[in-house]
């Protein structure tokens, strides 16, 4: 290429950048307007079925009523929502969704002022345009999740940091930087109490100053955050009597192999490594690629994951060498994402865990491409990358809008069950019927109580989230101890694995009075373990078992030899423990539904938490559940309203109540 042509090309590139620089404010405002337009067009009229969003609103209401202080998902978003519930005199779902749209728009504003004059105008404006037309960001903007608030604070923290760092580099006297320090401290504090991963903010700021050999500033960063964090903790202790940090529950769950099945034990070091690798593949080669507008492999790709990691370290290296002030956001992304991959269970697999970083990732990656190639006058590749993901993302948005428009119109026309699969339709029919026909003094239990709460105008339901099973080894230890200490006669019966008839389980009734545990060993056998008082005729029980060709054990040592645990999903159940759950919570009614594990797949199994409660309680307490109403045909994923019939087994239940009182 001749020198004349090279100069012409350079001039053309310069003119392109000049256009963005000269019209930067107008172009930025345009991106915000574009975002607001599409956020309104894709406005999600209903609460999502993920329940976390409805749980935030429940937590906000409980906080306002002085019942509980929000801790599990992060405190600040429920407190933030509670403020608007208080101001407007109740839960207005449309208002709360609109506020989240405003928060997402503020994210764009904060990102603009954070990166303005730090990256090329064209790269910044195009990155913000990508965020303005991205269907994932647009959908979450009108859901009552904490993502919009977190992303706004995250962008605000970057803006506050850069503003302070400029003053530090200019050697501005400390007294004139106090306000900037307080803004940064407030942003880091709010980030940490909005989501637990927000602690990556303070960690990154301190690390950045240490790498920059600014020891005093590293210490001042901690002090700036403590200025807000200490009064907040004092408030929790003095008003709510909470002495814990608030994330202990999630912290403990991190170390479990499965928080829904604690008896599986704690994760090993190799297990954490495997968790990190699986999450890397899921989030980087599937969710991230998908959010950027590309079509990823269905289950992700190891090769694509490696390419994304190379892109990250490439960006880190380029910014370290050529744009040191941008090192903080790339370190923040790296730390936050790495901690997420280590701490999050692989089966959670939600795009929103990586979505919150995508706008910043796009800005940093395009800047790294530019910084690397600008001396070769081929930095147009950064623009090509941005234009490509903008076109792909906008295409996805248009497609989603065309599919969503009829559903939106149906909802606006009054069809409150529009777009729901039969399992959710029947579930919502059941909870709405229960709320309308049962007084507030009646306690109703269900799975997904947050969604029930929102869809019944604030009627509170008792949540049943976990099934309290036990480790088989611990049950055998307990059986051995009680047999030795209490000198009780022992009897156990093995139920053939091929038998699915519930009537088989009633063979030994009324000896269920003495049932202590039911052991379910998927790989080997199903066993009832019973203790009998000395007056019980054990020989009669043996005859019943023999007549029905059941294997039985009258010696605890013999049982120990027979139970072989081959599967980590094997478990044991104490029926009395299940009944205590209902008694202590004063549960009168129960919603039993067939909610799908995978919403789009009817045949992929259902959430069986409540079903297992009912099945195992019926083994010892037959007749304790009475069906009041059914919603949906039996072959169409029905839901049931069930009444607790405590009188059916009053003697047994009174004994359990007495044990509770004695304890």
**pLDDT value, residue 81:** 95
Band of residue 536 on the pLDDT scale cut at 50, 70, 90:
low
Kindly tell me if the per-residue pLDDT of 577 is higher than 60. yes
Which segment of 53-57, 61-65, 381-385, 651-655 scores lowest on mean pLDDT?
651-655
- For residue 407, what are the contacts with CB-CB under 8 A and spacing of at least 6? 418, 419
Are 547 and 621 a contacting pair, CB within 8 Å? no
**pLDDT value, residue 251:** 62
CA-CA distance, 298 to 301, in Å (whole number)?
8
286: DSSP letter: I
Are 39 and 138 a contacting pair, CB within 8 Å? yes
Q: What is the maximal distance between C-alpha atoms in the chain?
A: 109
**Angle, CA 662 vertex, CA 661 and CA 663 arms, to 5°:** 90
Band of residue 268 on the pLDDT scale cut at 50, 70, 90:
confident
Band of residue 7 on the pLDDT scale cut at 50, 70, 90:
low
Residues in the chain: 663
Q: What is the dihedral of CA 607, 608, 611, 612, to 10 degrees?
A: -160
Are 528 and 574 a contacting pair, CB within 8 Å? no
**pLDDT value, residue 504:** 40
The per-residue pLDDT for range 125-184, each reduced to its tens digit, is 999 999 999 999 999 999 999 999 999 999 999 999 999 999 999 999 999 999 999 999
Find the mean pLDDT for residues 13-36.
89
Cα–Cα separations (whole angstroms), residue 262 to 177, 340, 369, 398: 49, 21, 46, 44
Residue 512, both tokens: 């269920």
**pLDDT value, residue 46:** 86
Domains of the chain: 255-376 (no CATH), 422-467+577-662 (no CATH), 472-573 (3.30.70)
- Write down the H helix ranges in 88-177: 93-115, 121-133, 135-141, 147-169
Band of residue 407 on the pLDDT scale cut at 50, 70, 90:
very high
Residue 286, both tokens: 């599937």
Cα–Cα separations (whole angstroms), residue 2 to 5, 8, 377, 652: 5, 10, 14, 96
**pLDDT value, residue 496:** 63
Helices (H) and strands (E) in the chain, counts: 27, 10
Q: What is the dihedral of CA 230, 234, 235, 241, to 10 degrees?
A: 140
């Amino acid at each position: 290429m001749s020198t004349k042509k090279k100069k012409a090309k350079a001039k053309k590139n310069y003119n392109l950048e000049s256009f963005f620089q000269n019209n930067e404010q107008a172009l930025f405002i345009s991106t915000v307007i574009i975002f607001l337009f599409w956020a309104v067009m894709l406005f999600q009229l209903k609460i999502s079925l993920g329940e976390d969003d409805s749980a935030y609103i429940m937590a906000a209401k409980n906080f306002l009523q002085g019942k509980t202080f929000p801790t599990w998902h992060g405190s600040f978003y429920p407190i933030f929502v509670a403020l608007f519930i208080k101001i407007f005199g109740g839960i207005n779902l449309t208002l709360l969704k609109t506020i989240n749209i405003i928060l997402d728009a503020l994210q764009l504003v904060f990102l603009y002022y954070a990166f303005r004059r730090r990256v090329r105008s064209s790269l910044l404006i195009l990155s913000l345009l990508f965020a303005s037309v991205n269907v994932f960001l647009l959908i979450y903007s009108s859901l009552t999740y904490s993502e919009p608030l977190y992303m706004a604070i995250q962008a605000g923290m970057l803006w506050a940091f850069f503003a302070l760092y400029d003053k530090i580099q200019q050697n501005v006297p400390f007294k004139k930087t106090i306000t900037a320090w307080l803004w940064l401290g407030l942003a880091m504090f709010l980030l940490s109490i909005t989501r637990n991963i927000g602690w990556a903010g303070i960690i990154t700021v301190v690390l950045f100053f240490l790498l920059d050999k600014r020891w005093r500033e590293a210490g001042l960063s901690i002090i700036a955050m403590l200025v807000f964090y200490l009064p907040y903790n004092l408030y929790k202790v003095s008003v709510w009597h909470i002495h814990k940090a608030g994330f202990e529950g999630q912290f403990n769950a991190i170390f479990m192999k499965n928080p829904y099945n604690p008896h599986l034990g704690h994760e090993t070091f190799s297990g954490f490594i495997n968790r990190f690798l699986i999450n890397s593949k899921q989030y980087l080669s599937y969710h991230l690629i998908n959010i950027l507008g590309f079509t990823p492999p269905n289950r992700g790709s190891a090769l694509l994951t490696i390419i994304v990691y190379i892109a990250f370290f490439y960006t880190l290296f380029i910014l370290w060498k050529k744009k040191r002030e941008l090192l903080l956001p790339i370190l923040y992304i790296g730390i936050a994402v790495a901690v997420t991959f280590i701490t999050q269970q692989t089966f959670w697999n939600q795009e929103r865990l990586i979505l919150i970083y995508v706008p910043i990732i796009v800005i940093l990656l395009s800047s790294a491409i530019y910084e690397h190639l600008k001396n070769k006058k081929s930095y147009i590749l950064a623009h090509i990358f941005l234009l490509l993901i903008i076109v792909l993302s906008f295409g996805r948005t248009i497609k989603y809008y065309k599919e969503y428009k009829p559903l939106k119109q149906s909802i606006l026309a009054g069809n409150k069950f529009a777009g729901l699969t039969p399992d959710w339709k029947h579930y919502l029919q059941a909870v709405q019927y229960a709320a309308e026909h049962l007084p507030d003094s009646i306690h109703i239990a269900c799975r997904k109580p947050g969604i029930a709460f929102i869809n019944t105008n604030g009627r509170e339901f008792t949540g049943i989230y976990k099934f309290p099973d036990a480790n088989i080894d611990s049950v055998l230890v307990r059986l051995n101890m009680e047999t030795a200490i209490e000198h009780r006669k022992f009897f156990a019966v093995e139920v053939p694995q091929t038998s699915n008839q519930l009537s088989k389980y009633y063979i030994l009734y009324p000896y269920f009075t003495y049932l202590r545990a039911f052991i379910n060993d998927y790989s080997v056998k199903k066993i009832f373990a019973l203790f009998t008082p000395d007056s019980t005729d054990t020989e009669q029980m043996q005859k019943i078992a023999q007549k029905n060709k059941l294997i039985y054990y009258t010696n605890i040592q013999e049982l120990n030899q027979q139970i072989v645990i081959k599967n980590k999903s094997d478990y044991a159940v104490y029926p009395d423990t299940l009944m205590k759950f209902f008694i202590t919570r004063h549960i009168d009614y129960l919603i039993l539904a067939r909610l799908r594990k995978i919403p789009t797949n009817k045949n992929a199994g259902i959430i069986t938490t409540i079903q297992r409660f009912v099945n195992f309680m019926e083994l010892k307490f037959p007749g304790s559940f009475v069906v009041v109403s059914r919603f949906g045909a039996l072959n169409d994923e029905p839901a049931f309203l069930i009444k607790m019939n405590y009188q059916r087994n009053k003697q047994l239940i009174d004994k359990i109540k007495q044990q509770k009182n004695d304890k």
